[in-house]
Every structure is written in structure tokens, then in C-alpha cells.
């Protein structure tokens, strides 16, 4: 019954979207009715998705999708999360969000009616394409052909709070770019010279970018404690795929913040909007078609892959075609000087695009080679580290000074202050590297990260006018975001280069001393939980005789799917993480791995600051 409601509202909503596409010349709809129908269609698709969630909550195994991905003994939150923990449900969520973005846009937009209708029409054609995709290849409302009392269960690795909200966040980002895409195309099609679309594009791209940042961060935080590999970024193909729209989105946001009515930059902005959404779809194609090997495995199906590839070519082709035909030809020259704000912006955009293209090439290169020469190669972390990072380095260097450059001239404001501080900082970094093991990347990361932070702080102080108001915070927002990036660079540098790793075989009661941190294996216990058993090692962490905390690494066994997951035990500190994973037992000694990860917390703090300043920027006029 629930499945029936879900499917019929999905179909109805699709039907309404077809209605919107009737050209004005045949049947002109009044704007009021148009908006009414659009919102009605959104409500229908929301009903459809909530009925899927209801089916999951009630463990309605007459629905085939629920039967395959759920189990009645799961905690409630994972029953809900199960709705988007599989291919069909997640595409329905994606579809639902396309519509919701259109809905919110129709409520908040202050554009002219014609423009608004154009945006919503493009949005609903995207909606339509994905709706057909769902109905024809991945319907979550199929009825189970046999009657069963129990489901097959959700992949245990997904049963985790961070991962439960990771897909919706990520999709809010990806799908948000669909609205940015629609805005870009609509602005090309619009006949009058209204600049309101720039303001709207800015708002929506910042919103999407912020959500995408949060989604990626959640995913990598999950990878940090769940995979138990000691790191948090592995250049996994799926990670790369999420990074590509993120980088382009970042370039887009920067271009939008910098535009001063130059036609060339406006064209560039439209191009980036098209690129962003295309990359989101391309990512979906690569993940869902199953041609990549990755931690993220979805039940793959050739017909689905083909369909998404079709969607990709359709939207990208359409977008680029409109871009080529309709884009303004009139050219006014950019104010490019050797070192002013416009050129800094352009260099930054170029570098980001090159980084994105490198990641794209590295991700699909194994596929190309396999098709052409029938040999398998892998392109992994070492490749990306030695190509993407050098490309980004000058960008990071530029980032610290870009906000103080001027628009019109070659001068840097308060140049001396910056040089003095930079000299001072490099001196400190030199001393630091003298007393520790010298490492080129470590040194570069240290100096870049701290320089970005310092330069941003100087800029904030120089702008301080003895009054902290919301406007002041808005005016220093870009510096705040850059401080976040600086902290992140520091965190990444330290946690990857100065990471220390130890491997021990110990038995219960033994103690280990690492840098005056005394770890004692107190005991090993087995805990029965609702849907899994967990084996936990209890470590006590003492420093100078005082008990600080217990660290509980372990393994969970999920009987439903007969899978074992590792759970890293982590002790968080501002300056370091003590990260323990539990290995196998041999002759009553346990193999454990201990990582000392310095400054990991900086990464998460940096990301939080970036997200925070993203939210501030949404309200900035």
C-alpha cells in the first residue's frame, strides 16, 4: 500500500513536470498557476520519498527495496538512513532534492517572472530526466514477489551516525549545483540585461558548496575512524569524484565574489556553473555504473550506467550548446595587471581547474588504458600527491596575499608589515625544522599554513574599527575562511608527515610507553548489542600516573550479513590523536597498531570554520 502511494505520487509529479515543458507559444500558463503547479509537484515527490522512509521504518518487506536493504532489528536511525543507503533510494532522494531546490528558489527569488519561469523550467527538465531514470531503471517501489518476514539487512559499514547523514549532505551539495546550472542557462536565454542572476547564483552556489564541504568532511571523518587505516583521505576514486565538483564550486564561488561586471568573467561563471553540475552527474555515472573499483560499492547494472551516461551527455551537451550559441560576444577587456586582484583571481581559477582536470584524468586513466591496451594499471595516492599538490602550491601562496591586493594598481597595501611578518615566520619555521626531522613537504606545509593564517589575522586586525558588528564579520568573512584553510593545511601536513606508527603484540595487563603516554591493555570484552556483537579491547591512557581516558578499539560482528568491521579507538586531544586499531589474536597476545596523529583536530576545526564562513557568506549582500 505504501509502495503504491509512493509510486503513484512519483508518477503524478513526473506528469506535472511534463506539463511545464509545453512551450509558451502553444499554451501560456499564468505565473501564479505555474508556481502553484511546481510547488504541488514538489510536495508530491516529497510524499513519494516519505512513503519510502515510512516503508523502511515499518520494515514493510513487501517492498523489494526494503527487503534487500533493511532488517527489523536495526535501530530506528539506521532504518531511516537505509532509505538512502542504496542505489534506488538515494536516486529518489536526489530527485526529491532537485525539486526542493526549485521550490525554495521559487519562494526566495526576486527575479523577473520570465526569468523565474525559465529557471524553473530547466530545473523541471532535469527533474524529468532523473524521474525517467528512476521509473525505468531503478524503481524503489517494486513489490517483493515472495512473502518474507525478514530482510537482508543494511551493509554494516554504513551503520554509523556520520555515514547516516553523509549522503543527504553530499546530495544537497551535488544537487544544489543543478539550480546553479539552471540559473546559468536561464541567464544565457534571457533577453534583458538584468544582473540579478549573479546575486542569486552566488547565494545558491555558496549554499551548495557549503553542503558539499560538510558532506565530504563527514565522509572522510567516517573513513578516519571506521576503516581503521590511520588516515582520512585515500585518493579513492569516489573521493576524487566528490572533490572535482567541490574544486570547481570553489572556483565558481571565488569568481562570483570577485566579479565587477566584466563580461569575460560572467561568461566564465556560466561555464563553471555548467561544469559543476556536469561533474556531479559524471561522478554519479562513474560510481553507479560500477566501472570503478572503490570502497563505495553499489549494486551495479550496465543499463543504469548507460542511462546516466546518456543523462550526462544530454545535460552537458545542452548546456555547452546554449553556452556556445547564446553567450555574449561583446568583449570588454579585463583589468589584468601583473599583480592585482583580478589576475590573482584568474590565476587561482586556472590552478583550480588544472587541479580538477588532473584529478579527473588520474581517476579515469586506468579505464582509458584498459580499453585501449587491455592492461590494468592503477593510479593512486602517490600520483595525485606529486601532481595535484605542486599545481596547488602557488595557489596557496597567492591565497594569503590575494585579499590585500588592490583592483586597479600593482600595489600591495601595507606591504612592509606583511614582509616583516613573513620573514619572522620563515625564521620560526626554520628553527622548527632544525630541531625536528627535516622534510620538504612538511616544511612547505608548515610555512604555507601558518603564513596564510598569519596574513589573514593581520588583515583582520588592520580592518578592525573598534566595533564588532555583523557587518564587520561579513567584511572579514573571506579572511575567516582562509584561516580555516590555513588550519587545515597545518593539520594535513602534520598528520600525514609527522604521523608516528607503532605495532605491538601484547597480552592483557601489559603496558606500553609512548612519549610518556602509558597505555595499558586492561581487558578484552565481548558486548552484545541489538544487531551486532562487539569485541572490545579496553586500554587505559595514563600520563604521569593520572588516568586520562579509556580508549576502546574493537571489532564488530554483524550476524545478519556475516560481516566484521573494525572500529578504531581514538583519543582526541587538541594537539594529537592517539589512534588504536585491534588486530588478530595469536597465542593470547593481541596484535595492535597505534598511530600518533599530530594536529588532526586542526583539519576538522578548519573545515568547520570554512562551513561557518560559508553560512555567513550566504547572508552577505
Partner 1 sequence: MKYQYFFRYIFYFFFIFYSNSALSIDSLNDKVKKLTLELRCMTCQNQSVYDSDSDFAKDITTLVEDKFKEGLSEKEIKVFLTKRYGEYILFRPYFNIKNLLLWLFPFILLILSLGFFIKGLKKY
Q: Which is nearer to partner 1, 60 or 160 (CB)?
A: 160
Q: Which is nearer to partner 1, 349 or 517 (CB)?
A: 349
Binds partner 1 by CB under 8 A, chosen from 415, 427, 502, 619: 415
Nearest-approach distance from CB 31 to partner 1, in angstroms = 43
Binds partner 1 by CB under 8 A, chosen from 24, 293, 408, 513: 293
Q: Check: CB of residue 575 under 8 Å from CB of residue 599.
A: yes
Helices 415-435 and 440-463 cross at an angle (nearest 10°) of 150
- Count other C-beta atoms under 10 Å from residue 377's C-beta: 11
Distances (CA, A) of 573 to 81, 394, 581: 30, 32, 18
Q: What is the grid cell recorded at 184? A: 546559468
Nearest-approach distance from CB 295 to partner 1, in angstroms = 5
Which residues, including other chains, have CB under 8 Å from residue 338's CB and lie 6 or more apart? 410
Q: Which is nearer to partner 1, 291 or 354 (CB)?
A: 354
Distance CA 326, CA 581 (A): 57
Distance CA 30, CA 21 (A): 14
Tell me if 499 contacts partner 1 by CB under 8 A: no
Binds partner 1 by CB under 8 A, chosen from 336, 428, 527, 547: 336
Q: Which is nearer to partner 1, 102 or 403 (CB)?
A: 403
Among candidate residues 177, 365, 187, 367, the one with its CA nearest the CA of residue 278: 177
Binding mask 355-384 for partner 1 (x = CB under 8 A): x-xx--xx--x---x---x-xxxxxxxxx-
Nearest-approach distance from CB 40 to partner 1, in angstroms = 44
Tell me if 37 contacts partner 1 by CB under 8 A: no
Total residues at the site for partner 1 (CB under 8 A)?
A: 56
| Residue 412 DSSP code | B
Q: Binding to partner 1 (CB under 8 A): which residues in 555-584?
A: 583-584
Binds partner 1 by CB under 8 A, chosen from 19, 309, 397, 535: 397
Q: How many Cα atoms within 13 Å fall on the side-chain side of residue 248?
A: 28
Distance CA 203, CA 196 (A): 11
Distance CA 434, CA 431 (A): 5
Q: Check: CB of residue 351 under 8 Å from CB of residue 395.
A: yes
Phi-psi sector, 25: left (phi>0), alpha (psi -120 to 50), beta: alpha
Q: Which is nearer to partner 1, 406 or 529 (CB)?
A: 406
Tell me if 439 contacts partner 1 by CB under 8 A: yes
Q: Which is nearer to partner 1, 12 or 497 (CB)?
A: 497
Nearest-approach distance from CB 351 to partner 1, in angstroms = 8
Q: Which is nearer to partner 1, 407 or 615 (CB)?
A: 407
Nearest-approach distance from CB 318 to partner 1, in angstroms = 26
Nearest-approach distance from CB 312 to partner 1, in angstroms = 22
Tell me if 335 contacts partner 1 by CB under 8 A: yes
Distance CA 260, CA 376 (A): 48
Q: Binding to partner 1 (CB under 8 A): which residues in 516-535?
A: none
Which residues, including other chains, have CB under 8 Å from residue 515's CB and lie 6 or more apart? 596
What does the binding site for partner 1 look like in residue numbers (CB under 8 A)?
A: 229-231, 234, 236-237, 293-295, 333-339, 343, 346-347, 350, 354-355, 357-358, 361-362, 365, 369, 373, 375-383, 386-388, 391, 397, 410, 412, 415, 419, 422, 426, 438-440, 443-444, 583-584
Amino acid at each position: 500500500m505504501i509502495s503504491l502511494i509512493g509510486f503513484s505520487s512519483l508518477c503524478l509529479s513526473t506528469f506535472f513536470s511534463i506539463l511545464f515543458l509545453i512551450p509558451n507559444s502553444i499554451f501560456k500558463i499564468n505565473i501564479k498557476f505555474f508556481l502553484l503547479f511546481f510547488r504541488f509537484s514538489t510536495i508530491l515527490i516529497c510524499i513519494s520519498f516519505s512513503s519510502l522512509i515510512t516503508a523502511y521504518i515499518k520494515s514493510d518487506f513487501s517492498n523489494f527495496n526494503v527487503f534487500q536493504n533493511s532488517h527489523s532489528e536495526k535501530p530506528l536511525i539506521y532504518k531511516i538512513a537505509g532509505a538512502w543507503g542504496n542505489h534506488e533510494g538515494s536516486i529518489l532522494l536526489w530527485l526529491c532534492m532537485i525539486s526542493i531546490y526549485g521550490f525554495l528558489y521559487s519562494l526566495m527569488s526576486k527575479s523577473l517572472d520570465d526569468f523565474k519561469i525559465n529557471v524553473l523550467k530547466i530545473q523541471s527538465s532535469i527533474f524529468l530526466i532523473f524521474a525517467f531514470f528512476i521509473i525505468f531503471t531503478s524503481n524503489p517501489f517494486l513489490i517483493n514477489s515472495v512473502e518474507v518476514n525478514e530482510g537482508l539487512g543494511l551493509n554494516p559499514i554504513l551503520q554509523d551516525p556520520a555515514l547516516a547523514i553523509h549522503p543527504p549532505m553530499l546530495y544537497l551539495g551535488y544537487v544544489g549545483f543543478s539550480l546553479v546550472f539552471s540559473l546559468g542557462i536561464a541567464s544565457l536565454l534571457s533577453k534583458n540585461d538584468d544582473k540579478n542572476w549573479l546575486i542569486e547564483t552566488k547565494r545558491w552556489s555558496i549554499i551548495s558548496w557549503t553542503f558539499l564541504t560538510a558532506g565530504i568532511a563527514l565522509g572522510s571523518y567516517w573513513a578516519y575512524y571506521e576503516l581503521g587505516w590511520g588516515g582520512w583521505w585515500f585518493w579513492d576514486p569516489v573521493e576524487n569524484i566528490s572533490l572535482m565538483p567541490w574544486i570547481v564550486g570553489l572556483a565558481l564561488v571565488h569568481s562570483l565574489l570577485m566579479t565587477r561586471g566584466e563580461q569575460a568573467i560572467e561568461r566564465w561563471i556560466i561555464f563553471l556553473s555548467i561544469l559543476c553540475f556536469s561533474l556531479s552527474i559524471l561522478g554519479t555515472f562513474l560510481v553507479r555504473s560500477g566501472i570503478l573499483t572503490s570502497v563505495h560499492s553499489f549494486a551495479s547494472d550496465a543499463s543504469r550506467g548507460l542511462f546516466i551516461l546518456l543523462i550526462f551527455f544530454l545535460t552537458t551537451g545542452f548546456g555547452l550548446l546554449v553556452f556556445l550559441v547564446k553567450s555574449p560576444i561583446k568583449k570588454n577587456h579585463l583589468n589584468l595587471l601583473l599583480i592585482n586582484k583580478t589576475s590573482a583571481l584568474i590565476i587561482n581559477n586556472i590552478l583550480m581547474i588544472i587541479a580538477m582536470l588532473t584529478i579527473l584524468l588520474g581517476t579515469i586513466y586506468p579505464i582509458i588504458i584498459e580499453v585501449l591496451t587491455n592492461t590494468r594499471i592503477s593510479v593512486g595516492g602517490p600520483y595525485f600527491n606529486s601532481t595535484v599538490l605542486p599545481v596547488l602550491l602557488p595557489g596557496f601562496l597567492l591565497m594569503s596575499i590575494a585579499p590585500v591586493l588592490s583592483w586597479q594598481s600593482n600595489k600591495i597595501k601595507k606591504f612592509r608589515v606583511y614582509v616583516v611578518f613573513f620573514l619572522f615566520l620563515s625564521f620560526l619555521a626554520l628553527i622548527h625544522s632544525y630541531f625536528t626531522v627535516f622534510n620538504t613537504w612538511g616544511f612547505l606545509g608548515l610555512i604555507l599554513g601558518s603564513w596564510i593564517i598569519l596574513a589573514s589575522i593581520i588583515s583582520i586586525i588592520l580592518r578592525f574599527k573598534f566595533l564588532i558588528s555583523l557587518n564587520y564579520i561579513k567584511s572579514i568573512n573571506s579572511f575567516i575562511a582562509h584561516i580555516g584553510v590555513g588550519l587545515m593545511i597545518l593539520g594535513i601536513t602534520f598528520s600525514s608527515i609527522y604521523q608516528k606508527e607503532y605495532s605491538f603484540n601484547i597480552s592483557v595487563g601489559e603496558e606500553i610507553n609512548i612519549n610518556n603516554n602509558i597505555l595499558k591493555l586492561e581487558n578484552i570484552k565481548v558486548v552484545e548489542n541489538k544487531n551486532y556483537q562487539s569485541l572490545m579491547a579496553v586500554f587505559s591512557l595514563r600520563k604521569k600516573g593520572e588516568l586520562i581516558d579509556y580508549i576502546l578499539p574493537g571489532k564488530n560482528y554483524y550476524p545478519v550479513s556475516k560481516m566484521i568491521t573494525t572500529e578504531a579507538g581514538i583519543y582526541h586531544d587538541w594537539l594529537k590523536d592517539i589512534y588504536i586499531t585491534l588486530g588478530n589474536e595469536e597465542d593470547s597476545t593481541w596484535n595492535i597498531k597505534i598511530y600518533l596523529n599530530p594536529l588532526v583536530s586542526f583539519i576538522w576545526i578548519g573545515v568547520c570554520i570554512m562551513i561557518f564562513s560559508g553560512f555567513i557568506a550566504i547572508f552577505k549582500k
